[in-house]
Structure 1
């Protein structure tokens, strides 16, 4: 019978599976304890914050569904609109003119109003007011 020589050299590698298991357990423990460490254990009453914006003087031009227009709260005719608006813009021509048109108004009426403001008044800044929708995003 032949004799098999045994190797006298020790196994030189480290078994990597237990090292990975220990590292994985440590990562899980750290992920679970990290949120707890961020919360201090003393009671603090935080002050209420009040933010104020500098209220800019704007001129609101409202347009009803039946075609009536108003400058701020004053109802004016289409013919008197440029004069009334120029009277308000005389002090400061950089005041924002905000057009508040009913959503069911004809687009051509709103376009005519914008053209009148652009060409017959001192207004430099014109915007159209809208209501912001809040929709839930579908995931």
Structure 2
């Protein structure tokens, strides 16, 4: 009795096809899917609340935009006047209390992200809710 060389030892005179299904690829795919679910489920559970504006009546008054600029070197300017981040809270509080005021932020393309993040933290602490970030040109 001679054996054919294959993954399974089958006698050479055995002419019937193998009736079993190779389940190894199926198990491999199922294990990959299981790992993907284990990785993605915690990301779906953790959520970051984002306050979205609610639709309401159109504002009767025209808003006055105030421009906050972050330069490439990290310098901050509010309406064309240089302001330090520490002193920015005062003018932002005045803008927060004015119902017609809106803040627009423009950042230089070469500015560091850290400068932007620190400025946004000051804006957030000041309680500015009417905010627009202008795109880089």
Question: Given the two structures, how large is their TM-score scaled by the length of structure 2?
Answer: 0.49
Question: Given the two structures, how large is their TM-score scaled by the length of structure 1?
Answer: 0.48
